[in-house]
Amino acid sequence: MRVCILGAGLTSLTLAKALVNKNIYVDIIEEEKKIIHDKSRTIGVSKSNIEFFNNSILNVEKISWKLKKIEIFSDNLRKEKLINFENNSNELFSIIKNHNLVDLLGKSLSKSKYFKKINSLKSLNFLNHYSLVINTDFNHPITKKYFSKKIHKKYNSVAYTTTIHHQKIHNDTAVQIFTKMGPLAFLPVSEKETSVVYSLNNLKNSRHKNVGDLIEQYNYKYKIQKVGKIKSFELKSLSLRSYYHGNILAFGDLLHRIHPLAGQGFNMTLRDIKIFLDIIVNKQSLGLLIDSSVNFEFEKKIRHRNLIFSNGIDLVHEFFNFERKTNSSFLSKSIQFLGKSSSVNKFFTNIADKGTLI
């Protein structure tokens, strides 16, 4: 069988590598314009997903930075922790620089006889040449034609990303602070570097210099030597109403996009890839055709899980968004009280690691 993937971003390369590992021929059709990957962007990968990545896609241990703690704070309780997720013996999350992962996947794919890159095709005549067409490209004509119906939400916020360079420390703890202006995350990537994501409310016209000052205001552990170039993007969430059309399947951010406050966007995609692979391998073992029935089964198995998980992330955002508009610390104290329960803590840790199992 031969599969076509539209788009050449991180999701496309990850899925392509997973498929060629199963001896499936994959053609990636990319835009003629070269993608420039933002070097300030990082992804957080949960423990179960990093194991899946290493075992089924590509070993990424050399470019991963392991986190053993995640601390949650709120402006309303100053420096008191709301929740503390911790695992002294194993990592909770791994942080990887986007461009490093893209480079590693690209180099590995270039060595495979099952993989090929093709320049952009705007005509739709190629569709029948493939068993499956997987679309991750927002700008391709297929997207407008078949995947325009979606549930979407604008957060009236802008996410600013950068990397701070600081003095060497034992850097294995991620910090999320729900500030009055929006959620701020410090995500370690080495002993001397930490990625920062600050989602600011109603500040589309803010100068990047002001964002740097705000980061410094909430920094309590790093002796910063340099703040890297600050990039920004508007925050939106979306869920497609239909995952596929015939043998064409939407995937990645085109399928679901969520608020970055929990660092779960790419984790959702990795869970999708695992289920997608399971369906294909099962069909192959039974001698069945790889056709549009794969897309039907995929949507049936994953759509409700993704909706529940996406809505859960949005609920967390709205919860803290409501609190930031008040001067009361009641909601934060309630979360702090629940977070002290080992069973509640374990429940939220499992959700962040494996997603919803419903």
**pLDDT single digits (tens) 201-257:** 865 445 555 788 888 889 989 999 999 998 888 888 899 999 999 999 999 999 999
Q: What is the pLDDT of residues 154-199, one digit of tens each?
A: 888 889 999 999 999 999 999 998 888 888 999 999 999 999 999 8
pLDDT at residue 317 greater than cutoff 80: no
Domain ranges of the chain: 2-354
Q: In whole angstroms, what is the distance from residue 221 CA to residue 339 CA?
A: 23
pLDDT digits (tens, 9 = 90+) for 68-85: 998 888 877 766 777 777
Q: How far apart are CA 245 and CA 96, in angstroms?
A: 33
- Contact between 135 and 6 under an 8 Å Cβ cutoff? The reply is yes
CB neighbour class for 184 (10 Å; exposed up to 12, middle 13-18, buried from 19): buried
Length of the chain: 358
Measure the CA angle with vertex 298, ends 295 and 302; round to 5°: 145
The one-character DSSP state at 85 is E
d(CA 267, CA 264): 5
Euclidean distance between CA atoms 44 and 265, whole angstroms? 9
Tell me the two tokens of residue 285.
């073992």
Long-range Cβ contacts of 23-28 (<8 Å, 24+ apart):
23/114, 24/114, 24/280, 25/1, 25/114, 25/115, 25/116, 26/2, 26/114, 26/115, 26/116, 27/2, 27/3, 27/115, 27/116, 27/117, 27/118, 27/130, 28/4, 28/115, 28/116, 28/117, 28/118
Please tell me the number of Cα atoms within 13 Å of 240 on its side-chain side. 23
Confidence label for 36 from pLDDT (cuts 50, 70 and 90): low
Mean pLDDT in the chain?
86
What is the tens place of the pLDDT at every residue in 81-131? 777 777 666 788 999 999 999 999 999 999 999 999 988 766 667 777 899
**Do 237 and 258 touch, CB atoms closer than 8 A?**
yes
Q: Which amino acid is at 336?
A: Q
Question: What percentage of the chain carries pLDDT values higher than 70?
Answer: 85
Q: Who has greater pLDDT, 309 or 97?
A: 97
Q: Which CATH number fits domain 2-354: 3.90.1150.10, 3.40.50.360, 3.50.50.60, 3.40.1280.10?
A: 3.50.50.60
